[in-house]
Amino acid sequence: MPALLWYRRDLRVDDLPALSAAVADGPEVLCCFVLDPRLEASSGQRRLQFLGDCLRHLRDDLGGRLLITRGLPQQRIPQLAAAISATAVHVSEDFAPFGRRRDEQVQAALGEIPLVATGSPYLVSPGRVVKDDGSPYRVFTPFFRRWREHGWRRPALSRPEPPHWIDSTELSSKTAQPVEIPDLGHADLPAGEVAARDHWKAFVANGLDRYHQDRDLLGRDGASRMSAYLKFCNIHPRSMAADLDPHSPGATAYLRQLAFRDFYAAVLRHWPRSAWQNWNNEFDSIQTDSDAQAQRLFERWKAGTTGFPLVDAGMRELLATGFMHNRARMIVASFLVKDLHLPWQWGARWFLDQLIDGDLANNQHGWQWCAGTGTDASPYFRVFNPTLQGRKFDPDGAYVRRWVPELADVTDAHLVRQARPPDYPEPIVDHGRERAEALRRYQRIST
C-alpha cells in the first residue's frame, strides 16, 4: 500500500507527523517536493536560495530519496500518486489562503485518493484557539491566555521505523519529471534541519536567559534569528518550546513570540482578506500617497537613503542580509506609513521580496500592527520618532555604525549632537511636520 509524502514548508525528517502517518499507511513511501512556478514567481531570490539549500539537506537526510519536480501541484501530485498506485497523499496542513485553495484543487484532482493532513507548522494549529462561543480572537492577550491553556503535544523523541523509500529513479522520466534544485548563489544563513537544531541549541545556551532584556536592543544581537528555520519548519516550534523553562523570564518572553506567530496565522485563517487588505476596514478611506513623488520617496526608503540613521540602518541590513531586526522592522514600517504616508502594502510586498523569513501571516499582520489597521494594532496616532527610537534601542549607535558606513566614525550615530557628514543625505522629510500630517489624515476618518 504505497503512500506519497508531499513536502511543502515542513522540510525536516524528525518529529514530522505527516511522515509518521505515511509510514503507518503502508510500507512504501515516495517523498516529493513540487516547485510551484506561482510561488517561485512571488518569492525573493534569497528565500528561494534558502529553500534550495533546505531541499538539498533534506534530500541528503532522506538518503537521496526526495523527488523534486516542477509544475502545478494539482497536476503533478495526482500524476505521481497514480504512478505509484498510492492509497493516500500525506501533507502537513496549510492554513494560508493560497495553500488552502491549492489543496482543495489537489484533492479534487486526486478523486478518491485522500489528501491526508497531519500536523502543522504551529504549536497550536489555527482555528483551535477560539472563544467559548466559537468565534475567533481579535486581541492577542486573551488569545495568549487561552492558547497556553490549550497546550500542545510534546515533540516525538524518535523517528518512526524507516519505510521502504520508493526511489524516484524507478519511475519513468516522463512521470517523475525531476528537476535540479535551483542554485541562485550563496545564502548567508546555513539551511536545513541540523543547522536549525544547532542554531537553536546555541541560542538556548548563550542568549535565551537574557532574551527579555536584549531582544529589543539593536546593537546587542539578542534575537534568536530562528525565523527562517520556522518559516520552512526545519525545526518544529514544539521542539523549541520543550526547552523553555516557564520560570525563566527570557524563556517566557520567547514563548510569547511563538504565540504571536500562532495568533497571526489564526487571524489569516479567519480573515484571509487581511493578507492584502486592511483588517479594520475603517481605514479603507484613509488618504495615502501614490504619485510620482511618493514613488521617489519609496525608492529612497528601499535603498536606505532617507537621512534618518536608524531607518537607513534597518533597510541596509535587509538589503545586505535578507534579515532585519524586529525592532527595526517596526521603526521602518512606521516611517513608511506615518512619515511618508505610503500604503502599508508597498512595504509588506518589499519585505516579502527581500526577507529570507518572509511569511505571509507574520509579515502582513506585523505591517498592519504598525499601520494601525490590524487586530490588536498599535494606535494610528502612535508615530515612532526614528531618532528617539534610535537613542532608546541603539544607545551607543553600534547598529547604525554597522550598517551605515557614512556614520561609522561619528561620535553620535543618531546625529542629535553631531553635525551631519557631507556624504550622508539630508532627511527626506521633516518628521514633526509629517507626524502632524499623519494625525490630520487619521482625524478625517475618525470623526
The full DSSP string for 429-445 is S-HHHHHHHHHHHHHHH
Q: Residue 388 and residue 393: Cα distance in Å, rounded?
A: 9
Is pLDDT of 184 > 80? no
Q: pLDDT band at 67, cuts 50/70/90?
A: very high
Position 72 pLDDT exceeds 70? yes
> Which pLDDT score is estimated for 186?
65
**Among 23-32, 93-102, 288-297, 367-376, whose mean pLDDT is lowest?**
23-32
Tell me the pLDDT tens digit for each residue of 362-376.
999 999 999 999 998
Encode pLDDT of 209-266 as tens digits: 999 999 999 998 889 999 999 999 999 999 999 999 999 999 999 999 999 999 999 9
Handedness of CA 10, 14, 19, 20 (dihedral sign): negative
pLDDT tops 90 at residue 180 = no
Cell of 404: 551605515
**Residue 137 is assigned to a ligand binding site:** no
Residue 257 marked in a binding site:
yes
Name the range with the highest mean pLDDT among 1-5, 166-170, 294-298: 294-298
Q: Is 351 known as a binding-site position? A: no
Taking Cα atoms as reference points, which of 385, 390, 389 lies closest to residue 414?
390
Give the model's pLDDT for residue 158. 67
Q: Provide the pairing of β-strand 89-91 with 67-70.
A: unpaired
φ, ψ of residue 435 to 5 degrees: the values are -65, -45
pLDDT of residue 50: 94
Q: CA-to-CA distance for 110 and 171, rounded, in angstroms?
A: 19
pLDDT tens digits along 93-115: 999 999 999 999 999 999 999 99
**Strand, coil or helix: what is 190?**
coil
* pTM as predicted: 0.95
- The x, y and z cell numbers of residue 188, run together, are 548567508
Q: Is 258 annotated as a binding residue?
A: yes
Does 259 belong to an annotated binding site? yes
CA–CA separation, 80 vs 64, rounded Å? 18
Is 103 annotated to bind a ligand? Reply is no
The reply to whether 268 sits in an annotated binding site is no
Each residue's pLDDT tens digit, 377-391: 778 788 999 999 999
pLDDT > 90: percent of the chain: 86
Per-residue pLDDT of 191-210, as tens digits, reads: 999 999 999 999 999 999 99
3-class DSSP state of 87:
coil
The answer to whether 263 is annotated as binding is yes
The pLDDT of residue 432 is above 90 = yes
The response to whether 260 counts as a known ligand-binding position is yes
The grid cell for 217 is: 536592543
What's the CA gap between 48 and 31, in Å, rounded?
Answer: 20
Amino acid identity, position 270? H
Is 388 one of the annotated binding-site residues? no
- Cβ proximity of 20 and 149 under 8 Å: no
Mean pLDDT of the chain, nearest integer: 94
Average pLDDT over residues 115-122: 96
Segment 79-91 mean pLDDT: 96
* Band of pLDDT at residue 279, cut at 50, 70 and 90: very high
Question: What is the per-residue pLDDT for 446?
Answer: 77
pLDDT at 185: 66
295 among annotated binding-site residues: no
